[in-house]
Structure 1
């Protein structure tokens, strides 16, 4: 092709040196595209810019979807944690009431055992009187055996240790109830169910700004940490309360056996006295 010559007829209006010749600056400013030679200025740049803008919008939309899912997931976690905390508080309150009943039962058993000790002294006195009468009637009455002095036994009930109302579990329950009460209006579960006190419909948090999303997530994480801490305290308190009540049940079992044995023994002694 280097040997070919292109003839330009200067007299023909279809050939003009001024129109066909391209200077260096114009050539460098134009971009080559395929076999067409040159394209219109800025066309490729506009297309590339539009593609980048579409990609940027897609990434922003994707980012917003991830942020929304993260916020919703944290809200659901808070709702589940608070529901678990409410169940733990209800269980703890039931255990506290149960402990109060066990303590009252133990107190009654102590009263029963004290009364049985007092009645045993009465039985011993009756046996002494019957023995003296028998000796007197049989002509072998010597010195009268004085009956035992009947003293009211000490009404000393066993130490209950820490009462139910002053137990560590009770203070933990009060703390959890106070926190649940203060955050009840903002409970996400109640908002979703339409049970919040403000009667406003629940809506998604404003995630139009990255800072707002970070603040919402940080606040939710703080609430989750607080709920987990209270749940841990409730779990420890429930475990300690169950151990304490097991000890009370063991004492109740021993005192019940003691009262049952004493009653059986006294019945046998009274039957022997009545047969004489």
Structure 2
């Protein structure tokens, strides 16, 4: 093979490798503003904030949107705190930033920052679309199709297998297990129904739960736990309801 052919082959291989590397590189997310942009954004926050006290971000999905995040420090706003800003199309004469919302945190864009597109809110990490998955409170955490659900101080439903999940109601079967500190207890097969699908932040969450005994013989034992129980956001605190 001649030198010219070898040189051409090497060049072609290098070009192909560069193309593959470019494809493999992760897509750019939000970008940091330059100093002039940061000062303008900080001046648009209400009330204006010290540019040295905030971290700025500008969406690369939609450059009309940006955000400021409190960094804390001496003489600065304590984090967490965020300001969400908007401007006309970049390059528009007189197109300056203006504030559209501020707060400690945001959940679903469409509910708490209605003007911002979901993609820009997610890019800036200020809000999000509702989660695709639905969750259920399990103790002090949120779980997807949990195998165990607490049911009061001395009871739980274990070994849950869900036949329905993600719609208006979730339905599963498991074993109700009661055991108090005196050693008294019982076990009974039950059907659990979760409902009141709502939002905890941006997580779709079942906020009510109830159960019924599978066997007639267990109905009396399970009856004290049969009432519908509700969970409040953001804490996972269960209280009996009607």
Q: Structure 1 length as normaliser, TM-score? A: 0.18
Higher helix fraction: Structure 1 or Structure 2?
1
Of structures 1 and 2, the one with the larger relative CO (CA 8 A, separation 6+) is: 1
> Which has more radius of gyration?
1
